[in-house]
Amino acid sequence: MAIAVFVIFVAIVLIASSHTSQRAGSVGGYFVANRSVHWSVNGIAFAGGYLSVASFLGICGLISFFGFDGFLYSIGFLAGWIVALFVIAEPMKRMGTFTFPDALNRNYNHPGIQLAAGLSVLVVSLFYLVPQMVGAGVLVEPLLGIPHYWGVIMVGTVVILIVASGGMTSTTYVQFFNGGLLLVFATVLTGAVLLRGVNTADLPPQEGDVDLEPYTFEEVNVDISGDLPKVDLPHARIVDRHAKIDRYTGQETEVFYRMSRLVPAISDGEGGYTAELKGRTPHFVSPPEEHELWAVDYVEGRPFLRVEDWWRLVSGAEDADRLVETQFRAVLADGRVLVNGVPEGPTNRLRQVGGVAKLPDDYGGNTGTVGPIRLLSVFADESTLVNQPADISFTTDTDEDVTIYYHRPTTGAVFMRPGLMFPVEAQTGEPPVVTLLNRLNFISLMLALFLGTSALPHILIRYYTVPSADDARKSTVVGIIGIGVFYVLTMYLGLGAVASGALNPETSNMSAPLLARSFGEVLFAVISGIAFTTVLATVSGLIMAASGAVAHDFVGNLLHREISDNAKVLTGRIVAVVIGLIGIVLGIAFREMNVSFLVGWAFAVAASANLPALLLMLFWRKTTAVGIISSILVGIIASVGLILLSPDMWARYGLDPASAPMPLNQPGIVSIPLSFLTLVVVSLKTRGRAPA
C-alpha cells in the first residue's frame, strides 16, 4: 500500500513536470521557471524544499528518543529563516538574475567570485545530497521490503527525470506539492495524537503485517547479595554480567545480567515446537541439523526451550532488587545473528519500544483526549515517567558482539528540558574542559543552524523564480509560516510516537511512520509516501542548484566566453543527470551514515562558505572581490577540514575520538568567524590595489 501511494504521488509529480517541460526549453524557463511563480506557491515550495527528511523523520525521531533536545533542531532550523527573510531575500532577488553567485558578483564582475561561489554551491549541495539519498534508502528497506540501494536508485532516477526534463518549473511543483502534503498530514497526525492522549496501560494495537509490535517487558526479583545472583524463576541462573562504567567516576551506572532459563515449549508431535518468547510464538524444529540454538530440554516430561537473554538490574531502595527484561541483538563469533537469544528471522525481530510508564496521579493512568498545551504539560510533569529508549554495545568473553536495547525510565521534567542528547550540564567527576567542549559544541551547532539556512543553495535559487523583490519577501513570509507550523507539529509527532510505544529501538528515523502505523495502514502508507516525496523535493532543489552553478557560473567563466542560451540549458540538463548519478553512488556508498549527522554539517559548511561573503558584500562597503573569494575558499576549507579532523570522524576512521586533532564536532564556531575575519583582512589588504 505504501508503494501504491508513492507511485500515485510520483505520477502526479511526473505529469505536472511533463506538462511544464515544454516551457523549460529556454534559459529562463529551465533555471528560474520563467520567474513567473506566484509568491504563495513559491512560499509553500520553500517549505517543501527546505523540510528535508532530516526535518521530518530526523527531528520527530530525535524528539521521540531524546525529548526536548530534538526540538532544538526545530528551533534552530526555523530561526535561520529570520536571517533569510530580513537580510538576504530582497537584496538577493534584486542583485542576481539566475544564481546566488550572480548576486555576489553583481558589483565586482570578477570571474573568480563566480567560480568560488559556484564551487561552494557544489560542495554544500553534495554534502546535503548524501544524507537525503541515504534517507531514501533507509526508508525503502522497512517500508517496501526491498534492498537499500533500490530506494536510492528509485529516488535518484525519479529526481533526474524531474529535473532534467522540467528544470526549475517542475522542481517548484514537486516542492509545492510536498510542502502542502507535509503540512496537511502533520496536522492530521497531530490531531490523532491529541485525540488518543497518553495512556500508561494499553499501547495502541498495531495493525497490518507488523514486525515491530510493542511488548511489555517482564520483571523478576533478584538477590544479588551473594557471589552468584539468584533469580526468582524456576530453571534460571545467571551466567554472565556486563556493567556500564562511568568514564569519570569509575562507578557502575547500569548493570546487565545474562540469564540462562527455560521457556515452556509445546510439541506438535512431529518434532516441531512452538515457544512463547518475548510474547511471540516462533515455530521451530529441534534438534535442527544446522545448529544447536534451538535447544529443547525435557524437564519432568515437558519440553522447554533453553534461552540465554540479557536483563537489566533495577536497584530498589526499599523493595527488592529486580531484573527487567531487555531486548538484544547478538552477532556470534561465527557470524550468526541472534535476536533475543534465538536466530533472527521473519517471526523473530526486535519489538517496538517506548511508552509512558507513569502519569501524574490525577489522570489515573489515562489522560484521554488532551489539548495541545495540556499534552506538553503532562509530558513535562515531575511525576511522569517516560520509557526512553537506550542501548549499549559490547563484546562478551565468548566473542559475541551484543547490543542491548532497554528502557531508561526518565522523568518528564528531564525529558522535556535540554540535556539528554547534548550533555550541557556538568556531570559528576567530569573534567571542566569536557563540560566546556560539550557546551561549545552546542553553541556551535545553534550558530550554524541560525546562519546556515539563508546560505543554502537550494533555498537561495528559489528567490529567482518569482517576478520581483516584493514577491521574494512575501514568499519567504509564507515559507516561514508554513515551516514554523510544521516545526511546532514535530513536537507532537515526536511525543506522540514515544507515548504510543511506536519506536524502532534500532533507528530513530522510523518514529514518524511507525506512529502513523499505530493509527492504521492508510495513514502509514500516506506518511511513508510523503517521506519519499520529501526526499524528491529536497534532492531536486539541490540538483537544480548544482546544475545552475555549473552551467551558469562555471562553464562561461572557465571557457572565457559567453555560451549560447541553448548550450546553457543543455549543459544544465547534462549536469543534472551527472549530479543525480553521483548522488545515487554516494547514497549507496554512505548507507551506514546517520541522516541528521551530515545535515548539521552541511549547514555549517554553508554558513562558513557563503554567509560572510553575502552579509559583508551587502553591508560593508570596503569588501573587495579578492576578499569575497578568499572568504568563500577559507570557509569551505576550514569547515570541511575541521569536520574531517573531528572526534566523530575519528571514530568513523576507527581511531580513538579523544585523540582527534580538533576537539569539537561542530566546526561552525571556529570556521564562521574565521571566514568573516578572512574577508575583512583580505579586503583591507587588497583595497588599495583593486579599487572597488
Partner 1 sequence: MDQNSLSTQTASERRNSSIGIRMTLLYLILYGGFVVLSVFRPGWMGAQAILGLNLAVAYGLGLIIVAVILALVYSQLCRIPRTGEALQDAHTSDRSFGEKGG
Query: Which amino acid is present at 466?
Result: V
* From candidates 29, 48, 91, 355, binder to partner 1 by CB under 8 A: 91
Closest CA to 541 of 150, 129, 135, 179: 129
* From candidates 19, 94, 302, 408, binder to partner 1 by CB under 8 A: 94
Choose the binding region for partner 1 from 287-295, 371-379, 390-398, 545-553 (rule: CB under 8 A). 371-379
* From candidates 23, 38, 322, 473, binder to partner 1 by CB under 8 A: 473
Residue 85 touches partner 1, criterion: CB under 8 A: yes
Closest CA to 453 of 604, 595, 575, 589: 604
Residue 488 touches partner 1, criterion: CB under 8 A: yes
Cell of 543: 540538483
* From candidates 26, 36, 377, 427, binder to partner 1 by CB under 8 A: 377
Residue 418 touches partner 1, criterion: CB under 8 A: yes
Q: Output phi, psi for 450, to 5 deg.
A: -65, -45
* From candidates 336, 439, 591, 652, binder to partner 1 by CB under 8 A: 439
Choose the binding region for partner 1 from 344-352, 375-383, 499-507, 583-591 (rule: CB under 8 A). 375-383
CA distances, 155 to each of 167, 508, 511, 539 (Å)? 16, 21, 21, 9
* From candidates 126, 469, 555, 589, binder to partner 1 by CB under 8 A: 469
* From candidates 230, 322, 374, 591, binder to partner 1 by CB under 8 A: 374
Residue 480 touches partner 1, criterion: CB under 8 A: yes
* From candidates 33, 53, 72, 545, binder to partner 1 by CB under 8 A: 72
Grid cell 576512521 in the structure block, residue: 653
- Using CB under 8 A as the binding rule, the residues of this chain from 225 to 284 that contact partner 1 are none
Residue 666 touches partner 1, criterion: CB under 8 A: no
CB 650 within 8 A of CB 587: no
Least separation in angstroms between CB 632 and partner 1 = 18
CB 521 within 8 A of CB 1: yes
- Using CB under 8 A as the binding rule, the residues of this chain from 584 to 643 that contact partner 1 are 618-621
Choose the binding region for partner 1 from 125-133, 291-299, 479-487, 633-641 (rule: CB under 8 A). 479-487
Buried-exposed string 600-624: b where 16+ CB fall within 10 A, e elsewhere: bbbbbbbbbbbbbbbbbbbeeeebb
Residue 194 touches partner 1, criterion: CB under 8 A: no
Q: 219: which strand partners?
A: 324
Residue 90 touches partner 1, criterion: CB under 8 A: yes
Nearer to partner 1, 14 or 414 (CB): 414
Nearer to partner 1, 79 or 555 (CB): 79
Query: Total residues contacting partner 1 (rule CB under 8 A)?
Result: 57
Residue 425 touches partner 1, criterion: CB under 8 A: yes
CA distances, 471 to each of 324, 396, 423, 618 (Å)? 59, 62, 42, 20
Residue 351 touches partner 1, criterion: CB under 8 A: no
CB 2 within 8 A of CB 525: yes
CA distances, 621 to each of 416, 624, 634, 672 (Å)? 46, 8, 21, 20
CA distances, 129 to each of 27, 54, 583 (Å)? 24, 11, 6
Residue 561 touches partner 1, criterion: CB under 8 A: no
Nearer to partner 1, 36 or 377 (CB): 377
Sheet strands (E) in 35-142: none
* CA dihedral for 380, 382, 387, 393, sign (positive or negative): positive
Task: Give the separation between CA 109 and CA 102, rounded to whole angstroms.
Answer: 9
Q: State the residues that interact with partner 1 by CB under 8 A.
A: 68, 71-72, 74-75, 78-79, 81-83, 85-87, 90-91, 94, 106-109, 373-374, 376-377, 380, 413-414, 416-419, 424-425, 439, 442-443, 446, 450, 469-470, 473-474, 476-477, 480-481, 484-485, 487-488, 491, 618-621, 691-692
